[in-house]
Amino acid sequence: MSITLVALGGALGAVSRYFIGHFIMSKRKTSSMPIAMVIVNLVGSLTLGITVGLYLPSENPLNDSLYLLFNIGFFGAFTTFSTFSVEAMQLLHKHRYKDFWIYVLVSIMGSVILFGLALYILTV
């Protein structure tokens, strides 16, 4: 049952990432940076921080169906380091060094800060 929940959550997360990314990019055709993945990763990190914070008091969240479905499955597929890496390398390949550093710093620092902020708010 656990594998099914993770797989279902992963499928929903991947499809959600695709549609949200497509929607954002259709509205920002002239963006010099892959803004859709930045937004997806920041929103995903914030929301994951909230959901992880809700499970911190739990003895073993891996025994919880909703944790498996959302935290492991959905957010594991919704936020993605592989797409981030591809887009960062594409910026470097195009010699867009300023955009590369902004993309990398905002994506990594923003994701960690938003996750930590959500977790802190829920555990204080």
The annotated binding site is made up of 76, 79
Phi, psi torsion values for 56, nearest 5 degrees? -55, -40
- What is the structure's pLDDT at 54? 83
pTM surpassing 0.75?
A: yes
Average pLDDT for the chain = 90
The annotated binding site for Na(+) is made up of 76, 79
- What is the structure's pLDDT at 5? 96
User: 114 lies in which domain range?
Assistant: 2-123
pLDDT in tens, 46-84: 999 998 888 776 778 888 898 899 989 999 999 988 889
Does residue 31 have a pLDDT over 80?
no
How many independent structural domains does the chain possess? 1
End-to-end Cα distance, the chain: 34
Specify the long-range contacts of residues 78-83, CB closer than 8 Å, at least 24 apart. 78/13, 78/14, 78/16, 78/17, 78/40, 78/44, 79/17, 79/40, 79/41, 79/44, 79/45, 79/48, 79/111, 80/17, 80/37, 80/41, 83/37
Overall average pLDDT of the 11-19 stretch: 96
